[in-house]
Amino acid sequence: MIFLVVFTSILIVGVTIYQYRKRTVEYTADRLERKEESVKASIDYWFKTGNTYPLESKNLPYIFKDKIFEISDVENLEINVYDLDGALAISSHAGFVAASAPIKLNDSLVSGLRYSPTKRIVVSREMEESSLQSSYSYITDNRFKPIGILNLQYLQDNSEINEDLEEVLIRVIIVYIAMLLIAIVLAYFISRYITRFIKVISDKMNHINLNKTNEKILLNDASEEIHTLIEAYNDMVEELEESAIKLAQGEREVAWREMAKQVAHEIKNPLTPMRLTVQNFQRNFDSSSPGASNEIDEFCQTLITQIDTMSSIASAFSNFAQMPIQKKEELNVVEVVKFALDIFTEDYIYYDYSEPEIIAELDKTQLVRVVTNLVKNAIQAVKGGFNKRIDVYVGKMNDNVTISVKDNGRGISKADMSKIFEPKFTTKSSGMGLGLPMIKNIVSAYNGTIEFNSKEHIGTEFKIILPI
């Protein structure tokens, strides 16, 4: 709407200016033509009633000696008479101001007049507030034979027309400014009315989430097109909820199947050596032998070891499956991390912190589990290397506490980087691959983040950021 009003106003102003200028040119041309007809009528009358000289080109200065001034005064314009070769014969111009008419017409104008179908040429020249019109036509005798060239210099004052044009343009501009303001107001309210329903749909779509129930849109006074769009959105919400339910069920089933397979695999590992031990004991045990008591003790110890292994497997899966309870207590993270490191006897573990006391609301037990698992992984990574070093650092950054564990071990390959937080994934010869997933669960429960940076054969750094 605004564009149409602005475009129309510009078009109207342009057409108005063009029309005024065209009218001015036409008016000037018509007025000059009437003046020319009047002058020629006076000349013809003079030839018939008052002239005593023969009508020849050489007599032009004598024929118009006094008459040219009389006609110029009556018609109020400058008159110049040229011979057929373009030389000035006589002019009505007088005074101290230099004449604008040339003494000798150029050959192109003379020849153009000779071959012109109308035997008339008009030359225009625009000035500041006026326009100068010069007409050239033949003066003929009683037998219509040319004896000279008549030049009329007509000066048209355009100041009054320009003032009228200026007044019209001011009125047009005022009207269209008012129309533009009205159009802006109307466009604003109409666009708000049209787009208010689309805004509702847009806001609803921005809040669509697979993990929650999405609200439908209920609008009674919407247009037919918007109503169709709302129905499509509501149908999409219903399909999305059904898809989310099916997806969640499928994911749970897949997760439980994978977990069951992993549990079965891990439990089978200690069961096989237990079965072999029992079978071997059954075949070779002799109660009458002197070392029977020692054999029984060794057999029992082997079974106890395998049972403990199975128990640790069950505990590991239980700990991973159970989401950490967000138990919060004020504690000094620096002291808790130091406490977690005290169980390690390796002399290549170094501990540092930015300040001696960093208070945060966290769970001490879970924090110890996180640090312990990360350090254990680091010890595994540097095993077999030279100049072993593990750096543990605790710092404070804005409203967060950061814990980093850095080693100079074998690093993580690019192929494994995307899988290290997946359950049951491990690069070690033993273990169930639940340490890092468990750490991620704990960190996520506290709205924290865990990130790592690793290069093969150089080392790895894990960094945990937890809100204070």
Identify whether the C-beta of residue 358 lies closer than 8 Å to the C-beta of residue 397: no
Token pair 């200028």 is at which residue?
21
> Residue 106: is its pLDDT beyond 80?
yes
Tell me which amino acid residue 373 is.
N
Cα-Cα-Cα-Cα dihedral sign, residues 266, 269, 275, 281: negative
Last residue of a domain, one of 115, 138, 165: 165
How do 146-157 and 130-140 pair as beta strands?
antiparallel
Highest mean pLDDT among 152-156, 291-295, 321-325, 328-332: 328-332
CA nearest to 443, candidates 391, 371, 342: 371
Q: Is position 250 within any domain? A: yes
What is the rounded average pLDDT for all residues in the chain? 81
CA within 13 Å, CB half, 57: 14
Identify the band that residue 391 occupies on the pLDDT scale cut at 50, 70 and 90: very high
CA pair distance 149, 36, nearest whole angstrom: 12
Of the two residues 122 and 437, the one the predictor is more confident about is 122
Other beta carbons less than 10 A from residue 46's beta carbon = 16
CA pair distance 237, 227, nearest whole angstrom: 15
pLDDT recorded at residue 96 = 45
Percent of the chain having pLDDT more than 90?
20
| Cross-strand partners of 152 | 79, 135
> Residue 435: is its pLDDT beyond 70?
no
Element (H, E) at 155: strand 146-157
Do 111 and 51 share a structural domain?
A: yes
Residue 135 DSSP label? E
At 56, which CATH number?
Answer: 3.30.450.20
CA pair distance 87, 154, nearest whole angstrom: 20
Do 404 and 265 share a structural domain?
A: no
> Among 150-164, 180-194, 351-365, 379-393, whose mean pLDDT is lowest?
150-164
3-state SS class at 36: helix
Q: Is position 347 within any domain? A: yes
pLDDT digits (tens, 9 = 90+) for 151-174: 998 877 767 777 888 888 888 888
Element (H, E) at 7: helix 2-49
CA pair distance 238, 234, nearest whole angstrom: 6
pLDDT recorded at residue 432 = 40
User: Crossing angle of helices 292-321/224-284, nearest 10°?
Assistant: 180
pLDDT recorded at residue 203 = 77
> Among 132-146, 180-194, 412-426, whose mean pLDDT is lowest?
412-426
pLDDT recorded at residue 462 = 92
pLDDT digits (tens, 9 = 90+) for 225-266: 777 887 888 888 888 877 877 776 777 667 667 666 666 666
Other beta carbons less than 10 A from residue 412's beta carbon = 19
Token pair 């179908």 is at which residue?
117
pLDDT digits (tens, 9 = 90+) for 309-320: 677 666 656 655
pLDDT digits (tens, 9 = 90+) for 30-50: 888 898 999 999 999 998 888
Do 381 and 275 share a structural domain?
A: no
At 365, which CATH number?
Answer: 3.30.565.10
Other beta carbons less than 10 A from residue 382's beta carbon = 21
Identify whether the C-beta of residue 32 lies closer than 8 Å to the C-beta of residue 133: yes
Last residue of a domain, one of 274, 298, 321: 321
Total domains in the chain come to 3
CA pair distance 88, 57, nearest whole angstrom: 11
CA pair distance 160, 168, nearest whole angstrom: 13
Do 229 and 366 share a structural domain?
A: no
3-state SS class at 359: strand
Q: Is position 190 within any domain? A: no
Do 130 and 269 share a structural domain?
A: no
Cα→Cα distances 88→60, 93, 147, 309, Å:
10, 12, 13, 131
> Residue 103: is its pLDDT beyond 70?
yes
Q: With helix as H, strand as E and coil as C, how does 339-389 read?
A: HHHCCCCCCCEEEEECCCCCEEEECHHHHHHHHHHHHHHHHHHHCCCCCCC
pLDDT recorded at residue 401 = 94
Do 12 and 138 share a structural domain?
A: yes
CA pair distance 292, 287, nearest whole angstrom: 6
Q: Is position 277 within any domain? A: yes
Token pair 């024929």 is at which residue?
63
Do 333 and 317 share a structural domain?
A: no
**Mean pLDDT of the 205-217 span:** 71
Do 30 and 96 share a structural domain?
A: yes
Other beta carbons less than 10 A from residue 152's beta carbon = 24
The distance between the two most distant Cα atoms of the chain, rounded to a whole number of Å, is: 180
Do 152 and 91 share a structural domain?
A: yes
Do 257 and 122 share a structural domain?
A: no
19: containing domain? 2-165
CA pair distance 200, 234, nearest whole angstrom: 13
Token pair 């290549």 is at which residue?
348
CA pair distance 75, 69, nearest whole angstrom: 10
Q: Is position 181 within any domain? A: no
Q: Which two tokens stand for residue 25?
A: 């040119």
pLDDT recorded at residue 329 = 86
pLDDT recorded at residue 425 = 39
Identify whether the C-beta of residue 450 lies closer than 8 Å to the C-beta of residue 402: no
Identify whether the C-beta of residue 376 lies closer than 8 Å to the C-beta of residue 346: no
CA pair distance 195, 204, nearest whole angstrom: 14
> Residue 442: is its pLDDT beyond 50?
yes
